[in-house]
Amino acid sequence: MEDDVGVRELKERLSAYLERVEEGESVTITRHGKPVARLVPYSEPLAEKLKDLRQRGIIYWSGKKLEYTLPTIEPDGDAAEGQTLSDLIIEDR
């Protein structure tokens, strides 16, 4: 749930709004009825999450830039080798 709050009210009740944000809510801060900022729950940056997963041995990354490839499926039964998932969906339609 997102709530709008004016700057004056936010200044008067900052602790209460911070508690709401800590519980997962977002708050839009307005000045003269126009949105100027948003308070959102803190989320650890993706780079930090990935670093933590690497340090814990859950994921491995060589540091090399990944090449773009289309998703493919392994041939079994009706699928031809190297056929992409989108090809199969189109064929199925």
- In this structure, the answer to whether residues 6 and 35 fall within a common structural domain is yes
pLDDT of residue 89: 78
- In this structure, the answer to whether residues 52 and 78 fall within a common structural domain is yes
Domain tally, the chain: 2
- In this structure, the answer to whether residues 35 and 51 fall within a common structural domain is no
C-beta separation of 43 from 26 below 8 A: no
φ, ψ of residue 23 to 5 degrees: the values are -85, 0
Q: Which residues of the chain have pLDDT under 70?
A: 1, 70-83
pLDDT of residue 65: 83
Number of helices and strands (H, E) in the chain?
4, 3
User: Which domain does 16 fall in, by range?
Assistant: 2-39
- In this structure, the answer to whether residues 59 and 30 fall within a common structural domain is no
pLDDT of residue 76: 60
Rounded Cα–Cα distance for residues 27 and 38 (Å): 6
pLDDT of residue 72: 60
pLDDT of residue 19: 95
- In this structure, the answer to whether residues 50 and 18 fall within a common structural domain is no
pLDDT of residue 41: 92
Which CATH number belongs to the domain containing residue 29 in this structure?
Answer: 3.40.1620
pLDDT of residue 74: 62
pTM of the predicted model as reported, rounded to 2 decimal places: 0.51
pLDDT of residue 79: 56
- In this structure, the answer to whether residues 73 and 52 fall within a common structural domain is yes
- In this structure, the answer to whether residues 50 and 68 fall within a common structural domain is yes
